[in-house]
Amino acid sequence: MYNANTAQGRFSHQTRTGGFSKLNVFALAALMLDVSRERRQLRALDTATMKDLGLDRADVAREGARPMWDLPLRRKNRC
């Protein structure tokens, strides 16, 4: 059985009661928009820049196709 009080730090955007605070919901929405913008910028890179970053078209296509709510774990903990 899941208990939000025992999952401390697992989902930092949730309050101890399992609900969402207004501030954290706005922070999460802002993070989603930032990630979406970054993925758009990544898709716009030219091949030479991708090569400099150690990426290929398949890597960029895979990352760019992720939905905005599919956040990287290291970024998710900032909300």
Burial class (CB in 10 A: 0-12, 13-18, 19+), 48: exposed
Contact 50, 57 (CB under 8 A): yes
Domain range list for the chain: 22-76
State pLDDT tens for residues 6-25.
444 445 555 555 555 776 88
Q: pTM higher than 0.85 for the full model?
A: no
Quote the CA–CA distance of 26 and 29 in Å, as a whole number: 5
Cα angle, residue 34 at apex, residues 4 and 66 outer, rounded to 5°? 75
Quote the CA–CA distance of 42 and 31 in Å, as a whole number: 16
State pLDDT tens for residues 21-51.
776 888 889 999 999 999 999 999 999 999 9
